[in-house]
Every structure is written in C-alpha cells, then in structure tokens.
Structure 1
C-alpha cells in the first residue's frame, strides 16, 4: 500500500479554504475562472459536502433568477411599480 498521502485525502478543508472557494463559486458558475482555478474548485467541491451544498443552492438560485428575468411583468404591475418609484423619488427630493 502506498504511504504517500494527499492533503485533501486525509483532512477536512479549513474554514479559510472553504471561504476562499465559496468566493470563487459565483465566478465558477459564470464560467469566469481560468482552467486551473476551475479544476481547483471542482476538486474542493468533490471533497467538501458543505461547500457542495452551498454551490448547489447558488446554482439553483441563479437558475431561478435567470428564468424569472426572462419573463415580462404584466403591464399593470409595471405601471404600479413605476408610479411607486416616482413617489419615492419625490419623497427623497422633498425630504
């Protein structure tokens, strides 16, 4: 049996390592990381269930937001929102 061990095989990732990878997840989801960073994120997600769960949640939220943004709001809702925005702008100017 080989006595050589890898860091990610014999210990849990530290909180700071997880924090670093969690910062990169948004860029990973948007395909904005270079190949080496993508590979490092994948390895971390394969070995860290808490980070994988957070990644899955971020991916789900991103998917829902993307789907929601592709739908147009009904005209009456749009008009009510725009009227409220104008009211708030007046309140800010007068305040």
Structure 2
C-alpha cells in the first residue's frame, strides 16, 4: 500500500510493522520513525486505528487465555530442533491469524 505521499518510510513497511509498534516491541528509533510516519500519513493512521481497535477487541475477548503447558513445551522443543537443523541460521517472520466471532448486541 502507498498513499502516494513522499515519506521517509514507505507505507507498506509501516503497515507491516504496525503490530510491533502497537505491542511496543520495537526499539526507540524504529518507534519514533513509525510514529512520525503515522503523524504525516492519514491512510496509515486510519489503518493503525483499525489495528489498535482489533488489538483491544482481542484483548477483551481472549485476554486471559493461555496455551496449555504441554503445547508450549512441544512448541519450544520444535523451535529448538528447527534452529539446530539450520545451524542457527533461521529467519523470523511474523504471521497473525485471527478468527473472531462477535455476538449480536456485543457493542464491539
């Protein structure tokens, strides 16, 4: 996505990192860069607002849910195996899959 404006950071890069911004998982420099872009770019700010609303909805609906201990242990073991198989040369990508049902009259 691009709004057609001239920005220091491309809109598609900002939107791909907006969840890191929302979760406060990026360093100070990246956070400032993303915040500056959002201040300048209405389409990205609108998308940020949608994502922020979605994050709040997910937190309300799923905030206390945690994966079972055995599942987390299996996941950690599999991650370790994958890292070892690839000699520590493993790239990280972030994939988010969201399925939510909103009940009628829920107000969300």
Name which of 4, 7, 10 aligns with 1:17: 10
Structure of larger gyration radius? 1
- Per the TM alignment, residue 22 of structure 1 is displaced from its structure 2 partner at its CA by 0.5
- Per the TM alignment, residue 70 of structure 1 is displaced from its structure 2 partner at its CA by 3.6
Contact 1:25 1:55 in 2 (8 A): yes
- Per the TM alignment, residue 12 of structure 1 is displaced from its structure 2 partner at its CA by 1.4
Give the gaps of 5 or more residues in structure 2: 66-108
CA distance in 1, matches of 2:33, 2:61: 31
Question: Which has the bigger relative contact order, CA under 8 A and spacing at least 6?
Answer: 1
CA distance in 2, matches of 1:17, 1:33: 17
Contact 1:13 1:48 in 2 (8 A): no
Q: Does 1:45 align with 2:38?
A: yes
Query: Residues 71 and 32 from structure 1, CA distance in 2 versus in 1: closer, same or farther, beyond 3 angstroms?
Result: closer
- Give 2:26's aligned residue: 33
TM-score (norm: length of structure 1)? 0.58
Name which of 62, 65, 79 aligns with 2:58: 65
- Give 2:47's aligned residue: 54
Q: State how many pairs are aligned.
A: 61
